[in-house]
Chain A
């Protein structure tokens, strides 16, 4: 599977998105929240035959999705997923957006209502560069967190340890967890001390048993 994906890197899909693509079963129904310019959905439609929709608020991104032939619905994620029926998607994706939402925990509950699986990615606020910046007395500005404190859209940052704790507290089952460094690779250092060396965290979640 990963060999096939490697062959397709020509379209410029980021390595973390390639990993996600690898988790998604061919022919499934996918909802991508904050789908950006639609690159991932386009890839999934072409290479995995998924039937997908993206939600996106930005007009330029919506136009880009339409230009690609990706189904996109212009909407604000903070307005929720009321328009989507329970269990109507196999996967609901939330990539690098969790930390910008008003209530990330409620968002994931909603995602797990609408989708059988949730795929969530976020920047790890426990990374050593972040800690180093804080130790030196400043908010971090890194490759994965490029904005300054006053103009960032990130209002609910968390660490890998925080997220694991939230999953345990809510009873969400972690089906997959992948932790990547800034080059979007998994190295020995991450295996050694994940919360210190991972810059990007990828989770595949299922809801509580029996829910």
Chain B
């Protein structure tokens, strides 16, 4: 793996739980009287409270973006990008990373207890939209004393939250960094999500979403959903380079055991996902992806939606990403130009596919570093 250069670790981090006691009206019409968000922060908030950066996570992400929990072996999911001297430089920025509402890593979600019923929410947890997440994150910002983010940054589904932030709460975002994202997902993407959901819903251990009460998890369904996802996160070329079609053994075994490297990779990814992720949250996250369409609120005009925004934008896409292809990022850029918004767009030459947005590719990190260094200068960080 190529390295993007210097930078240290934020070290040991301790997540904190933030109670949001302000009622939240959701797009589905339901009301959450209160909710909790689990949050990590890195760096120091300056006296002017002008140097805060929000990280929005993608489908399976969480609040643990950088540093280490105790003696864990692997750091947070975006540790290569967040830290002292790294592109999102914690010497200058106060970085806030949360597990979204509906998540399964400590924020209020399907696997937590509904205080009104005393039962685990399970399938009764409301379906959410990206707009709901932005409202919830807006309440979090207020609670943390942050009136305006120096930047809101996210990849994939995280990038969708960034766009929605800039449109819905325009005065609270100075810079919007949208990475490997799309203005709405394609029918092909919805189709992948639907297969993933059907895998979970048809697992006999799903029990209508009440599997917690049966002491089981719909592991087969969740595993399949994740295996499918991983196919779409990699390019054909990357899969070929990584796994080829070599048999693991000298001769075919003529059965359905793992025989090819790619099978073993997918099974491993599926298996490890079951240990750390909740099936109801997976269903909810994929629906939020499917529902995302900021243009819908503006007569299907993305240009009109972006006219609301006041932020400056950086849009980044990866050449080998077919799940959220560069053409989709160009749609975002076109709408921003037509709306008269300041925007820069970088197309990073890459080979892995959608997963490249998590990789420390030198050109990618250079663009982020240059952009964010100006943001830091601008906000006096």
A binding-site residues for B, Cβ under 8 Å: 51, 53, 59, 62-63, 65-67, 69-75, 83-85, 88
Decide yes or no: A83 and B334 within 8 Å by CB, A59-B363, A63-B367, A69-B374 being known contacts. Answer: yes
Q: How far apart sit A69 and B347, CA to CA, in the bound complex (Å)?
A: 17
B344: A residues at CB distance < 8 A: 62, 65-66, 70-73
Cβ contacts B317-353/A at 8 Å (1 or 0 each) = 0000000000000100110011010111111010000
Tell me the minimal C-beta distance from A84 to chain B in angstroms: 7
Q: Is the CB of B337 within 8 A of A62?
A: no
Query: In terms of DSSP, what is the predominant structure of the interface of chain B?
Result: helix
Chain A residue nearest to B374 (CB atoms) is A69
Among A67, A70, A71, A72, find the residue whose CB has the most chain B CB atoms closer than 10 A: A71
Tell whether, in the assembled complex, residue B346 and residue A62 are in contact, meaning their CB atoms are under 8 Å apart: yes
Q: Does B214 contact A (CB under 8 A)?
A: no
Instruction: State which residues 232-263 of B face A: CB under 8 Å.
Output: none
The one of A53, A66, A69 that contacts B346, using a Cβ cutoff of 8 Å = A66
Number of A-B contacts (CB under 8 A): 52
Q: Is B314 an interface residue (CB 8 A)?
A: yes
User: Could you give 19 example pairs across A and B, Cβ below 8 Å?
Assistant: A51-B340, A53-B337, A62-B346, A63-B363, A63-B370, A66-B344, A66-B346, A66-B371, A66-B374, A67-B373, A67-B374, A71-B342, A71-B344, A72-B345, A73-B345, A74-B347, A83-B333, A84-B334, A88-B337
Q: Which residues of B contact A (CB under 8 A)?
A: 314, 330, 333-334, 337-338, 340, 342-347, 349, 363, 366-367, 370-371, 373-374
List the B residue with the shortest CB-CB distance to A74. B347
Name A88's closest neighbour in chain B (CB-CB): B338
Are B342 and A66 interface neighbours, CB within 8 A? no
Q: Would you call A84 and B345 a contact (CB within 8 A)?
A: no
Within the complex, the shortest CB–CB distance from B303 to chain A, in Å, comes to 9
Residues of B within 8 A of A51 (CB): 340, 342
CB-defined contacts of A63 to chain B, threshold 8 Å: 346, 363, 366-367, 370
Provide the residues of chain A in CB contact with B366, threshold 8 Å: 63
Distance between B31 CB and nearest chain A CB, rounded to angstroms = 41
Q: How far is the CA of A69 from the CA of B372 in the complex (A)?
A: 10
* Chain A contacts for B374, CB-based, 8 A: 66-67, 69
B343 and A73 contacting across the interface, CB-CB below 8 Å = yes
B303 to chain A: closest residue by CB:
A85
Q: What B residues does A66 contact at CB under 8 A?
A: 314, 344, 346, 367, 370-371, 374
A72 vs B343: C-alpha distance when bound (angstroms): 7
Contact B367 A83, beta carbon cutoff 8 Å:
no
Closest Cβ neighbor of A84 among chain B residues = B337
Other CB < 8 Å A-B pairs besides A66-B367, A83-B330, 6 of them? A62-B346, A66-B370, A71-B342, A72-B345, A84-B337, A88-B337
Q: Given the interface contacts A62-B346, A69-B374, does A83 sit within 8 Å of B337 by beta carbon?
A: yes
Q: A2 vs B340: C-alpha distance in the bound complex, in angstroms? A: 29
Name the residue of chain A whose CB is nearest to the CB of B330: A83
The chain B residue sitting closest to A67, CB to CB, is B370
Inter-chain contacts of B347 with A (CB < 8 A): 74-75
Q: Which residue of A lies closest to B373 (CB)?
A: A67
Report B235 CB to chain A, min CB distance, Å: 19
C-alpha gap A210/B349 in the complex (Å): 43
Q: When chains A and B are docked, how far (Å) is the Cα of A71 from the Cα of B363?
A: 17
Chain B residues whose C-beta falls within 8 Å of the C-beta of A83 in the assembled complex: 330, 333-334, 337
The 8 closest A-B pairs by CB, nearest first: A67-B370, A66-B370, A73-B345, A74-B347, A83-B334, A72-B344, A66-B371, A71-B342
Enumerate chain A residues within 8 angstroms of B349, measured Cβ to Cβ.
59
Which chain B residues lie closer than 8 Å to A71 at the CB level? Answer: 342-344
Q: List B contacts of A62 (CB < 8 A).
A: 344, 346, 367
What separation, in Å, do the CA atoms of A59 and B342 have in the docked complex? 19
List the B residue with the shortest CB-CB distance to A89. Answer: B337
List, in ascending order, chain B residues with CB within 8 A of A70's CB: 344
Question: Separation in Å of the A27 CB from the closest CB of chain B?
Answer: 13
